[in-house]
Structure 1
Amino acid sequence: MIRRAYNWKLKSEKTSASSDLTLNEATTLPCTSKNNINEHKGCNDLYMSDEKLNKLAAKVVKAEIMGDAILVAKLKAKLEAARAYRKQNPNAGKEDEDNRVILVATSSTGGSRPLHSSATGDPKSKGNKRKAETHNYGERAKYFSNDDKYNLSQMFEQEKYGSNYDDEAQLAKIAAKHKNPNDDLEDIFMDDISKIRNTAKDTEIEKNRAINQHMKLERSLEGCEYCVDSKNMVKHLMVSCGDKVYVSLPGKQSMVKGQCVITTIQHHSCVTSLDEDIWDEILTFRRALTQFFNSKNMDVVFFETAVRLHRFPHMVINCVPLPRDVGDTAAIYFKKALLECETEWSMNKKVIDLKGKSIRKGVPKGLPYFWIDFGMEPGFAHVIEDQQLFPKTFAEEIIAGMLDLEHHLWKYPKKEYGDFQRKKVLEFVNEWKLYDPNKK
């Protein structure tokens, strides 16, 4: 009974002390009053992170293209208020921003998955490099040390999203060590990979590879000219913007009048890595552009050159209008040029006919390629085996030859500025607005 009374007394003292502390804090903190709370909420509404500012700027550009003056004024006012608040309060909101990133492991075929690590041990140790026990009482129980370590779903995940970089590097290392022509490299390689591997060391290697890939992607995003969030993108060249795709005019001198590009708002490397909804929106823009140029009694070609994918380039589909007489023979020119490109002998078929299928089903994911379609009619694709021999301006050179254009228009086009770009955009938009799928 005495202990209970003592406990109740101690608890009441703590409660009163905490209530006194709360009262003292309420009198000293400036945001406890109703007005201060509202001001604090208003401050939180004014603050925007870099990502939110970029998204808001993209909405302003889209509203300007749509011609909604009221929405443009409203979004611009909100954008200017957020920028002014950040300028006056440079340290505001820093605790709300999360700079952590999810590392993604990308295989050589383009498959990506989040990197998850559960291995324990020391990755720097050389231990466990002993031959695995593969026989039990004279009978083979397994071939490798980890045969009974993974279930079927884990093995499928490793096969689909894994990479063969480690095996290739290990084989090259063994080949460099054993230069005797009498040595059987296949047996030596199989004997080496059958040993028990250090799981922690393999996980560390995969983590470092994912970090390097992320750093390459960050460098590519910083200097990208086509990402809407990038500071290097010239937004006034955009003539039509959808949910995930937009149409823009080139910032350099055009080969022909009406030349434009179709690309994605977010950063994607090539068409074969796109989702279905993005590809459907690209087809919508292609159909509208084909109708637009056909109304002017012109044909149009769409082409993409996807090379050096390890540098994470931004996907660009070029759209070039051609006169009717030239467009009728364009397929013959491109097929002949593809048959003669690169070397005489190749591992893959030189010309892939896309009749009855799209480029996304004609070329495996992760391979460099070139493809061209003639309006909405399917064209040809080519798997690039030697990226040093295949020029990046392959299609531009053929089109320039068909139209008898000067060399500098496709090889070294001059960059345009100011009034030249505005004039080009206004001329295109005045004719294009009737066919723009976002304004119908």
Structure 2
Amino acid sequence: TRLPWDEKWIIESLSDSTLYMAYYTIAHLIQNVPVGALRPALFDHVFLGEGSPADLADDLSVPADLLERMRAEFTHWYPMDLRISGKDLIQNHLSFCIFNHTAILPREYWPRAFGLNGWILVGGTKMSKSAGNFYTLREAIERWGADVIRFTLANGGDGLDDPNFDPDFAGSAGDHLDAWLEFATAHHGRGVEGWRPVDRWFRSVLHATLSDYIRHMDLMEFRAALKRAFFDLQRDLRWYLRRCGEPNRDLMAEFVDIETQMLSPFVPHLCEEIWSRTGHEDFISTSRLPEPDTGAIDRTAMDAEALLVDLMGDLREILSFLKGKAGTIHLYTAAPWKWRLLDLVRRATDEGPARFQDVMRAVMGDPEIRRMGKAVPRVVQRLLAERSPYALTAGEERAKLETEAAFLESEFGLPVRVWVEGEAEDPMGKARNALPLKPAIYVEPGS
């Protein structure tokens, strides 16, 4: 394309389209500059800081205060913190954007970050009128509403993969969001006084989630952020309500506020409504997301609760085979030598996966383990194959099971007994299957 007013110049598409962000900063002011004054000296001042406004004002016949404002606008908005574009432009426009900025501007005005995404799919395929999955933005809003569309798009994918707008997900998202609106409004600041261990556990989960959410949002991993802030946290909320009976009043107010703030970038209209209904006088869009309370994050409590959830899953599976004919539940924690073995296995695999033979050679150098003889290889194989994600001690594991025995009895309607392998009767030989953080289970047959 030739420059309209001087055809000896040719506009190269990858030049004019990769530095225009700088022009945006002064577009509203340059309308007041005469065409004849649009000379290199003006742009050298605005973008490079060369020359003084007073001298240029006389030379270009442009008011000095206008030149100062143009320079101030550019230095205020630049550098470009983030540019969002498609992955197909990496090899051309985005590369040239870097080239041109670094060639022309000082280092402090070079781009700071680029965000890239793929082509959006609808129902797992490219949009096409013939396929019946083509929607204009107006049609989509009329069908699902703005918040549901934003929610569904955020769930569509992260990174360079083609994000998928799932109409089925959108169809159910409205119900999930309506349920959150009703719950948040009804439960904000409602509940009992006093803090119980389960309340502290849920507050720990809340602030650990907030920390993960901030990390994902900073990396623009919006699907991961939404998963942690909504789907995972709503699951934890259901478990908390099941465990506590009635929630802690102060914790419910804090939870509803933080959950709603985390959701507000995705579903702003709904969250503004919740924010208003729960007594806030400002807008949620101008509120400040709190920093995670690291002192409240108790990894031991979180691991112990997750261990309990896993154990209950194992129990349900076993009881399903017994078809209601079950008696006392016996839980066996691992013998002390297995905890010693676990420590040795972890040391042997600190630097990554190791061969079974190498691990065995390392652990059998310990006199206590060597005394256990033929039992060791079987346990080592299981420890290598069934690595527990939890960081609890033997005492913490046993204390959790003993503390929650009454809860397990109420959940399953059966007596529960907790033992240490080797310290109790074991008529069916089940205790030998216990691993650290993986209790062995024996359920007596019922009548």
Identify the TM-score tier after normalising by the shorter chain: under 0.3
> TM-score, normalised to structure 1's length?
0.24
TM-score by length of 2: 0.24
Q: Which one has a larger percent strand, Structure 1 or Structure 2?
A: 1
